[in-house]
Amino acid sequence: MSAPHEPGGPRDSLVRAQFAPDFRRSDPGDPARLTLVLDNHDTVARLVRIELAGPLARYTRPRRQPRLELQSRRQQEVPLEVRPEDTRPEGGHAYDLHAVVIDEKTEQVVFTCTARIGVEPAPAMATRAVGATPAVVQGEVPVQLRVHVRNDGNIPLRVDAQRVTMKYWVRDDDSRREELIRAARRAIRGEQSEPRTPERLRPRQTHDFDVIVTAPRYVIGTRPRRWWVPIGVRAEETDAECEFVDFVQRPQWQLEERMVWLGVAVAVALLVLIVFMIILAT
C-alpha cells in the first residue's frame, strides 16, 4: 500500500495519462485488467516511455513497457494486467499502481497517474504427514504424530491440528480401508468448529504440529498392526483438512505364525480323537 498519489506533471506538459478504470478488484485466480490511456495534445509527436511503480508494479504484465511514439493530437492505449500471486501481496487491502510517463528526449517526467487495485482475500492451506517411515510402538503406549501445515493463501490464518476419536482410525489390513478413509475425511471436513489452541501463520509460513494419541490395547498377536490415524487441521476462513498419519503397533507378546497353526492343528487332532473315543465308548 502507499499514500494517495494525485495525477500530475509539469504545468506546461501537453501529455496526459489516466487509467481506465482507476479502481479494480483482483485475486490470484482473477487478474485485474485495465488500460492506460495516453493523450498527446501537442502539435508534434512525442517519444515517451512508461515506468510502473508502487507495490503492484512487480505483479503487472507486461513488466517492461516499450517506447511509445505519441502522434500529434492522438490517443494511445496500453493494456495492462495485474495478477497477484497465490500468497502475495496480502489480501484484504487496496494497493496503488503508479504510471510515470517520461519524455525520452529530455528524460523528464511529463505526467503521472495512479490506479487503485483491491486484492481480495484468498485463504488456503496445505497439509502433509511428517516422517519418511512410520513410528513403531509396542503395546498400549502414547504415540507422537506430526503434521506439517503451510499457509498457501494470501492472508494470515489461525491454524490448529486436533486428534480425532478412535472410531475413525483405520487398520491397514482392513478390506474396507479406502471406504473408511473417505468416510473419516467427510466426517472431519463436515465439522464446523474454530481452532482451540491456534498458531498464527502468515502467508507462506509453515508449522509442524505434534499430536499425541494412545495406541489401542494389543496383547497377543502374530504380526504388527499398521494404523492410519486421522488428524483434523482447522483454520479460520477455510474448510477443515484431514491428514492421515500412520504408525506400526507390535503386540506385547508376539507369537510365531507357524506355532499358532501348529497349535490349531494339535487342538483339532485332539478334538477328533475325543469325538472318536466317545463314539467307541457308546
Sorted by where each starts, the structural domains of the chain and their CATH numbers stand as 15-119 (2.60.40.10), 125-254 (2.60.40.10)
* Gap between the Cα atoms of 154 and 222, Å rounded: 51
C-alpha grid cell for residue 219? 496383547
The pLDDT score that the predictor gives to residue 181 is 93
C-alpha grid cell for residue 113? 497517474
Residue 115's closest CA among 195, 17, 230?
A: 17
DSSP string, the chain: -------B--TT--EEEEEESSEEEEBTTB-EEEEEEEEE-SSS-EEEEEEEESTTGGGEESSSPPPEEE-TT-EEEEEEEE---SS-SPSSEEEEEEEEEEETTT--EEEEEEEEEEEPP---EEEEE--SS-EEEESS-EEEEEEEEEE-SSS-EEEEEEE--GGG-EETT-TTHHHHHHHHHHHHHH-----SS-EEE-TT-EEEEEEEEEPPP--EESS-EEEEEEEEEEETTS--EEEEEEEEEE-SEEPPHHHHHHHHHHHHHHHHHHHHHHHHH-
The pLDDT score that the predictor gives to residue 255 is 62
The pLDDT score that the predictor gives to residue 136 is 87
* Gap between the Cα atoms of 195 and 241, Å rounded: 12
Q: What is the mean pLDDT of each run of 10 residues along the chain (282 residues)?
A: 52 83 92 95 92 93 86 93 94 95 92 95 93 79 92 95 90 93 89 79 95 88 88 88 92 67 69 76 73
Are 25 and 92 in contact by the 8 Å Cβ rule? The answer is: no
The pLDDT score that the predictor gives to residue 222 is 76
User: Residue 108 CA to chain centroid, in angstroms?
Assistant: 45
The pLDDT score that the predictor gives to residue 38 is 95
Backbone angles phi, psi at 248, to 5 degrees: -110, 130
The pLDDT score that the predictor gives to residue 256 is 62
Are 111 and 101 in contact by the 8 Å Cβ rule? The answer is: yes
The pLDDT score that the predictor gives to residue 4 is 44
Backbone angles phi, psi at 125, to 5 degrees: -145, 155
178 CB-contact burial (10 Å; exposed 0-12 / middle 13-18 / buried 19+): exposed
pTM of model > 0.95: no
138 CB-contact burial (10 Å; exposed 0-12 / middle 13-18 / buried 19+): middle
* Gap between the Cα atoms of 135 and 74, Å rounded: 73
Q: What strands lie across the sheet with 75-82, from one edge to the other? A: 15-20, 32-40, 75-82, 60-61
C-alpha grid cell for residue 40? 498527446
